[in-house]
Amino acid sequence: MRLGANLVIGGALFALAIFVGLLAPWLAHTDPVMDANLLNAEEPPSWIWWFGTDAQGRDIYSRVVHGARISLTVGIVSQLVNSVIGVTLGLTAGYWGGWWDDFVNGLTNLMLAIPSLIFALAIMAVLGPGLTSLLIALGLTNWSFTCRIARASTLSLKSQGYVQAAKVLGYGDLRIMITQLLPNMVGPIIVIGTLGMGGAILAEAALSFLGLGVRPPYPSWGSMLSEARDQITTAPWLSIFPGLAIFLTVLGLNLLGDGLRDVLDPQSRSRRT
């Protein structure tokens, strides 16, 4: 089987981000928060300071490396929450139908009508800034696509022989959902989840940029961009490197999502077997 270029490049970029995040303490040159030294303030990139330093003399390279941890945590955790909510709602709505389906549909349409960033902003305003509120806000606001996919898959899978057979064999609703329906829709759910992860990383950047996300001095890519705002002309490296990190990670996730779609698509799958 030939793997698509999307899958390979996207997978490599995402794997790199994960690798950096996991090994951050060993890859970083200095402590990203504590090692401020005004003597080294605003050094441009060089052999000593790979990505330059900021106004407090902190090493940008080390901060970007540590920022991977926060950005990836936000991306992965919030998207997991979204997937769980979306799949639970979509699967039960499609399976049971009736008033529950109407309710879930209404809720999904409502969520789609309000831009999720605005919604997340509102939640952050209530919960206050910080990583935990960020995870909650982003985890609660981006499940509508997953929900729609799960519902649509359920509706088409419901009439499959093996779902009917499971009823005849005495499976309860929950068992049917977990053994017959869920495993047959993981493909599209993973694709949507991968793309959603990229979206969550961007949303974290945006919220942190607005000062609502991760609070300084802890480095997230978004909060670094936010802090670099005023020096964009005098010290562009302060924005370029965290910006590049976001760009490459999100690009990687989008390519990975597309690549997975090609692989997991039922039609291309049946072509292989």
Partner 1 sequence: MTGPPLLEVEDLRIDLNYRSSQVAAVEGVSFRIDRGETFGLVGESGCGKSITALALIGLLRQPLSIGAGAIRFDGREIQSLSAAEQRALRGNRIAMIFQEPMTALNPVSPVGRQIAEMFVLHQGKDWREANRLAVEALASVRVPAPERRVKDYPHQLSGGMRQRVMIAIALACGPDLLIADEPTTALDVTVQAEIIELMRNLCAERGTAILMISHDLGLVANVCRRVAVMYAGRIVEERGSDDIFRASAHPYTQGLVDSLPRLGSRAALGRTRLTEIAGVVPAITDFPDGCRFNPRCARATDVCRTTEPATTLLGAGGLVRCHHHA
Place of tokens 């901060």: 63
Q: Least distance from C-beta 179 to partner 1, angstroms?
A: 7
Say which amino acid occupies 87. V
Is residue 265 within 8 Å of 14, Cβ to Cβ? no
* Inter-CA distances, 244 with 51, 212, 226, 236, 253, Å: 11, 21, 14, 12, 14
Pick from 170, 234, 267, 272 the residue near partner 1 by CB under 8 A.
170
Q: Which of 44, 106, 172, 216 binds partner 1 (CB under 8 A)?
A: 172
Mark residues 126-165: x for contact with partner 1 by CB under 8 A, - for none.
Answer: ----------------------------------xxx-xx
Q: Minimal CA–CA distance to 152: which of 114, 188, 115? A: 188
Question: Residues with Cβ < 8 Å from 70, sequence gap 6 or more?
Answer: 131, 204, 214, 218, 219, 220, 221
Q: Does 34 bind partner 1 (CB under 8 A)?
A: no
In this complex, which beta carbon is closest to partner 1, that of residue 110 or of residue 174? 174
**Can you tell me which of 180, 220, 223, 254 binds partner 1, judged by CB under 8 A?**
180
Please state the closest distance from residue 161 (CB atom) to partner 1, in A.
3
Q: How far apart are CA 139 and CA 111, in angstroms?
A: 13
The minimum distance between CB 175 and partner 1, in angstroms, equals 7
Q: Which of 22, 125, 169, 232 binds partner 1 (CB under 8 A)?
A: 169
Tokens of 24: 């951050």
Residues 150, 91: contact at Cβ < 8 Å? yes
Does 102 sit near partner 1 (CB under 8 A)?
A: no
For partner 1, the binding residues (CB under 8 A) are 160-162, 164-172, 175, 179-180, 183-184, 273
